[in-house]
Every structure is written in C-alpha cells, then in structure tokens.
Structure 1
Amino acid sequence: MSSDRIHAHYVIETSIGLERAAAAMAGEQSTGTFITLPGETPELHRRHAARVESVVLAEEGGEPSLSGSRGPGPVQRGEVELSFPLENVGTALPNLLATVAGNLFELQQLSGIRLTDLELPEAFGRAHPGPQFGAAGTREVADVRTGPIIGTIIKPSVGLTPEQTGVLAEDLARAGLDFIKDDELMADSPHSPFEERLDAVLRGLDRAAEVTGRRPLYAVNLSGDIDEMRRRADLVAERGGNCLMVSVNAVGIAGLRDLRLHSSLPIHAHRNGWGAMTRFPLLGYSYRVWQQLWRLAGADHLHVNGLRNKFWEPDDSVVASARAVLEPINGGPAAMPVFSSAQSAEQAADTYAAVGTDDLMYVCGGGIMAHPDGPAAGVRSIRQAWDAALAGIDLDTYAADHPDLEAALRTFRGATGG
C-alpha cells in the first residue's frame, strides 16, 4: 500500500453498473460533483482525485435493498476498493470519516454500501495516541496475569441510589471479581449523581479490599460533554479510581481522543448504538473498521458482544470482532476485547476455543448475579468454567465435582435461546 494514500474497501449494490458506481463514489468524495467545474484542472485531478483501485462483481439480480436508488440496469453487488490522497484528508479522524464514510451512504447511484476495511498510512499511527494500556497494560493494572479478566455490570441498570450502588459494588468485590462497570444507562442522573456514586463505590471497594487484599477495576461511566468528561476524569484520578468508561458513539471520536490525551487511566469503550451502524448487511461499517478508529483515538477495551448472546449478532461475527481487537494495528498494541451480553459459565469453553486466547474481559451480569447460590458462587462458577477451558477438560466433566459450575450450567444453559 502506498504510504501517502488511504485505501477503503466497500461492498456496494447498484443498478447503474459497478464500474460507473465506483467512479461516482470516487468523484463524490474527492474532486467531483454532479457537474464539471471550471477549477477541475488536470493538475488538480492528478494530485487530489480519488482512484478506483479495483472492482469485483459478486452477484447480479434481485431487488434493490434500500429505497431512493436509481438506475436502469439489473441490480449488481460487488466489492470496490477506493484510494484517497493523504493530502486531501490529513490525519484528523473526523476528516477521515467524512471522506471514507460520509456522503457515500446517500448516493442515489447506490442501493447498498458498507465500508468493510480501511488501510491507513503510517502517519495516522504517529498522529494519534492509540491505547494507553491495551491488553497487556490492562492486565497489569487489574493484577490479573493469567486467565480472562472476570467482570460484571452494576444491575439494576437504573434506579439504585449512590449508597445502594456502593453496597452492591462492595459485595461484588468481596465475591472476587476483577472488574466492575457501570451500566451504559447510568452516567450522571438526578437519582444517582456522578460524584456521589463514584465516592460511594470507591468507599465500598476500599472496604472490600480490607478483606480480599485487592481492589477490582471499576469502570465508572463518565460519558458527557468534553468539559464534563475532563472534570470527571480528574475526580476519578484524585479519589483513587482506576478505570474510565465512555459510551463512544455518543461522545464522538474527537471526545474520546481528548479524554485519552487528558487522562492517565484505562478507557473502557462501550459500543451502545453500534447496531444502528451495522445491523443491516448492506449499510454502515464493519466492526473491523469501527474498532480501528476508536483504538486510534485511545480505547483500551472494546465491547464485542458474546457467544449465544441476547442480541441479534451471530457467533462468527462476534469472534471476528474479537480477533480484530486483538490484532496490533497502526503501530499500536493489541487492545482487549470485552465479551458481554448474557454470558455465563456456559459459553466460556466455546469462547476460548473460538478466540484461542484468554486475553479478554469476560463480563457477566445475570450470569453472576442470578446464580442460584448467590453472586460469590456465580463468580466461582465463571472461574471454574475458564479453568476447565484452559486445561482442555470437558465442561460437564469438570462440573461433576465443582458444585458452583454444575449449578450454573443447570441454570443458564440455553437461557438465551442460542
């Protein structure tokens, strides 16, 4: 790949022919518009025009996927690679998005378009902070040298007072968790103000540490305006907190990058809202592209859903997402994938077999707190499931003399209908 060009890969659907559609995409996102302009000199085109690098027909026929498209011919679907001069964009991530994922989604020549991959010049890796901790650094901060980082989410998601949240966090920490996070619905609400909740939880974790000898990571949700996030990050650091959580699609890529440059704590990137960008297969982004952008901006942990989850996403998509997060890219380290969404002891062995590593967060809400013998037994069941997986022992065989695991399998197996 040329060091001065950005390469973007798409799957598109069109009724004007793939070659014509690709040319329209290249023109719209660089030097062209709907009509020739006086300033479009050959020299300007040479320096600034996007190029169609390749077009591959995959299939033909059927009805257009999206409304509002136009074209006289049969529907074609295929792969297109465009390249853009770095000189057009610079290295600013908002400008990059405007170029590779901007008005293309609105072109009438297309009845479907999905950005599937992005190859960036080395200049992007030099220009952006990237993960401050990544997978390896997170292990150090959490003091978990081997095995997955086992975590949970504060539940109920909303309705608990700060003091109730602190008591729950203390109980969960006493149960032996490595990681506790706020729910994405809880940031700074009238019934649970950020600062009060932070103080109550940290007090609870301190009490638990007097018994257990360790304090788990607590990813406090500080999502908000940029100035608010800076102020909240400072409070977390001043009061001894050890992790920040951000709803990244809500705060924006510039907001996350600013927080990464401002703070010295790990950043836990929650992807809520992601389904709007990816659920329809011929619109939006791939997770591979999405996670690359957020890692450039500074995310250390990124949610990837989980096997046999409660949402729409199939297992092969979840596994591909996790592998993308674990891949060093743009000169930065591997980040840490976060498996969540109806996870319990039941999916541990399959998760390890599919991903091939324990460099991950395994975050269970109901899978811990709904264990029939209580949260502490729920935590033990998750650890036992992973012990079995890492040792290559069949889960049911291991459960025969591990009652916590046996009870978890009896309770959660098939609970999501997956």
Structure 2
Amino acid sequence: MNTAVSPDAATLKLLWHDAEPREVRLREIISERLAAKPPPLLDDSIVATYFFAFRTQRLERAVEEISYHATIGIKHPPPGSLLEQCAARPAGVEAFDSTGRLGLLHVAFPLKMMLQPDGHLTSCDILHTVAGAIIFDVYENQDARLIALQIPEKVLRTFPGPAYGPLGVRKRTNFPPGQPAFGTILKPTAGITPEQVGALVEEVAGCPLFLFVKEDEDLYPKLDYSPVKDRARLAAAAIERAKEKRAGRGLIFAPHISGAPHEILESVHAVLEAGASGVMFSESFAGGTVRMVREATKRLQEPPAIYGHNAGIGVRSRAIYREVIDLLARLDGIDFRQTAPVRPGTPFLLPYGREWQASEEVLIRPVPGINPTMIVRAGALDQGNIGLNLADAERRAISEKVLFLAGSAINSIKNGKGKADPQLGAEAMTQALEVHRSGELRDVPMAQHLGELVRLADRKELKPLREALRQRYPKEAA
C-alpha cells in the first residue's frame, strides 16, 4: 500500500518552477555587461569570468577564498614569494545591485601555477583550476556560472586545434566553393550489424549532396555482433564503390568510438586501419580525449576528422556557459560541432537564442594559430527548414563553415512501399535546395515559410519534396 503523501499546492508550484526565463534574461544581462566592459586579457594569467549570487559574501571578498581553495591553499602569501606568484588575484568586479553579492567577478589565475615546461596547458588543467569545488560545490554560492575565459595568445598557440576545420574538410573532400555541405546520420541507430552499416552507407554514398556521414552515438564500438572495425571496413568499401557517382567528391565516414580513454584510442587506430576518414565521440564524459586523439594522429598524412558529439554537454552547460565548453573543445581539436538549426516556433534543441549565437561565434571566430571548427546545424533539420538555414548562413557569410546534418529527414522518409528510402529523402532535400536557390521564397517571413514551401511543391509537382514535407509535418502539410 502506498502511504506517500501527495505534495501540497505550494510544493507543486515550486517543483513546476520554470527556470528558463531567468536563464534567458541572465544571459541577456551578462552579454550586455560584457559588451560594454569586456573582461581583461592578461599576458601572465588566464582570466575566468563568473556570475555569482552569494548568500552572505560580497563579490570583492570572494577572490581570497577562491585563491585559497583553487590555487595556493594559504592566505596572505609573503610578498614576492613563489606562493604569491601562484595565487589567484582579482581582475575586476561588477555588482548588479546594492548588496554587492550579485554580479560578475573576473579572477586571474597565474600561468605560473599551471604551465608545463614547454609552455603548454590542457583543457583539463584549465577546468580543474577555474571550475573547481570552491566555485560550484559550496553552500555560500547560491548561484555560480563560469561564463568566459580569456587565454593569452602564447598559450592558445600551444593547443593543436582542429586538423582541418571547415575549409580543410571541404578541400579534403573536394567540395566546390559555393556548394552547401550536407551530412546525414545512419538510421536505425542501434541494433545493426556491420553488413547493415555498409548497406546504409552505400545508399547515402551514391548522392554527391553529402560530404559527411556518421553513425549515431547509440551504436557502441565494442559490440560482439557489430565491432566498429568491421563497420568501418564495410563503410569504406561502400564509399569506394560509389566513387563514380560522386562527381569527384569525397565522403567522410565517422564511426562512433566512445568509451574509456584507452578504449577510444584503441578504436581510433582500429577504424583508421579499416579505412575510416573520421571519428565521432563525446568529450563530455571522457575529458581530455579529443586532444589525446589529435596528438596521437597528428603525424598521419591524413588525420581523422573529429566530430565532437554533444552527448552530455547539457549536464555541463548548466554551470559552464556552452561557449566556454565549445572553445576548449575547439582548442583540443574537434573539426565538427553541433549547434542547432534555425526553425520557427518553440525550440526543439538547445542551444537557441543568445546561447546559440555565442556557440556558433566561438566555433568560427579568429583564434591565433587555431583552425575554426565547422558548425553543424542538426536536430530536426529537414526539408521544411533547410531554406531558412541556408538563408541565415548566407546572410552571415558563413555558408562554407556550416555542415547541414539531417538524419531522419534523409534516412526515415518512406517510399510508396512504406519502406525507409534514403535516396528519396536525399532527392527531397535536393529539391528543397533548388527551391532556395531559385529565390522564390526569399522574402517569405519565417513563420509562413513552411506553408509557402508546401504550396510551391504542389504547384511545381516536386513529388519527393512534397512527400517528405507530408511525413515530417503531418498537420501542416497533410
């Protein structure tokens, strides 16, 4: 018998509290404050910018506690001593109200306490110091966010960065300038054998629309019925057979290789030996592995392109702003990073709004000595919104830095026999691309785009596109 007492109305109201409006407004305020007064850039320190809401402590008093717990472990170090050289110090404060307990705090963490003898740092070293227990694990801190990092150029240049970046990926695959780069995800995503992977890749490889194809993160590498080396071997063979259909364009295949760090490295070597040209894994639950793979493969004639999957990023971005996570992943060496597509209405996937803008900006902005990371627009990207995403990329002059990745919109579109038909999905996407190029919907507002696209597909008898829209939008395009 269940004797648990149901929560009262006040408790239910608390449990149903939606923190998202606060998050959106907080980011707006922080963005405006940092635009007006950017964090300092110091040659001898990494400057971490935090948002804090303290229960009792004023912002300016917090640095002493941070220095004690995150750097030297004593207070009031002797002037001129090595201890003082390694101690965190204040780099600026901006209170949001008269209490002095709410606002921004800039803290300088000296390179003296972190740099290795050759002058390099790792992302793990940085996060270990700037995102430690004193920031996120003490009761005094009612709210705490790591919102920005300023890293000296001499340290930035020691990171490997992406092996290719957007232009390097396009060059490796011989994708012509001005041609949008598309990718897709194999479906089904799990419970499939190497032979099925090979067959799925072969269906995709015949379409020169695609630059990239990847497995899903739910297909694990060390399965007795589906070892990743065999999947990579059969996928590579399928791509080779499709060469004549690809108009001279290459196709990057990225198998999923997540695991413990030593397992990831084992899988990397196995799939490269089998013919894979890329790899995919998430660094969120295996810190340092992106750089491990980059360092282990950087002397190869053609290192693998690394797709830094987002699995687990939402767990971290609740405390560390996504653009900080994305910056460190870029420095470590990811060639591809998913953001989210432009689409009307309620967001399906994070990030969106200012967080989305910040994520895309940090992936491609100039960083000395570091290639950009290719933005991946994915997560409900389909024939109904691809025009909006192409237009957005063109407007921002980033078209060649974006990969348009559609999974279900390619591999789950069913033909007249009720069977999933990737060729039909790809043909529908090609027709949507041609509609965009025609400019016929250029001036249509975002909210009306889908309806106008459906009517255009009917009028011009674009049957694959019309069928894809019907399946993707059963209410709006019945």
TM-score (norm 1): 0.85
Larger radius of gyration: 2
Decide which moves more: 288-297 or 340-349: 340-349
Partner of 1:407: 467
Spell out, residue by residue over 1:5-57, the C-alpha distance to the aligned partner (whole angstroms, 9 max, x if none).
11111111112232233443344322345xx48xx322236422212222222
Change (3 A) 1:310 1:84: same
Decide which moves more: 106-115 or 205-214: 205-214
Partner of 2:104: 79
Partner of 1:171: 203
The alignment covers a number of residue pairs equal to 394
Superposed displacement of residue 59, structure 1: 5.1
Partner of 2:94: 56
Superposed displacement of residue 183, structure 1: 0.6
Spell out, residue by residue over 1:337-384, the C-alpha distance to the aligned partner (whole angstroms, 9 max, x if none).
112112102222332444422221111111112334432232233334
Q: CA RMSD in A?
A: 2.7
Superposed displacement of residue 86, structure 1: 0.9
Partner of 1:69: none
**Aligned mate of 2:305, from 253, 266, 270:** 266
- 1:1-400 to structure 2, matched below 5 A, reads 1-16=41-56, 17-32=58-73, 36=75, 40-44=77-81, 46-58=84-96, 76-90=101-115, 91-93=120-122, 94-103=124-133, 104-145=135-176, 146-176=178-208, 177-186=210-219, 187-212=221-246, 214-253=249-288, 255-263=289-297, 264-278=303-317, 280=318, 284-308=319-343, 310-355=348-393, 356=396, 357-358=398-399, 359-373=401-415, 374-389=421-436, 392-394=439-441, 396=452, 399=457, 400=459
Q: What is the identity, as a one-letter code, of the residue corresponding to 2:469?
A: L
Decide which moves more: 294-303 or 197-206: 197-206
Partner of 1:66: none
Superposed displacement of residue 414, structure 1: 8.5
Contact 1:15–1:75 (8 Å) recurs in 2: no
Spell out, residue by residue over 1:309-333, the C-alpha distance to the aligned partner (whole angstroms, 9 max, x if none).
5335434433331222111224312
Contact 2:413–2:422 (8 Å) recurs in 1: yes
Change (3 A) 1:77 1:148: farther
Give the secondary-structure state (helix, strand or coil) at the position aligned to 2:71.
coil
Change (3 A) 1:53 1:75: closer
Spell out, residue by residue over 1:267-316, the C-alpha distance to the aligned partner (whole angstroms, 9 max, x if none).
111120011012x4xxx211211111111211111122334553354344
Decide which moves more: 328-337 or 113-122: 328-337
Give the secondary-structure state (helix, strand or coil) at the position aligned to 2:196.
helix
Change (3 A) 1:413 1:314: farther
Give the percent of matched residue pairs that are identical in Structure 1 and Structure 2.
27
Which consecutive unaligned segments of at least 5 residues does structure 1 have? Answer: 61-73
Give the secondary-structure state (helix, strand or coil) at the position aligned to 1:248.
coil
Contact 1:131–1:299 (8 Å) recurs in 2: yes
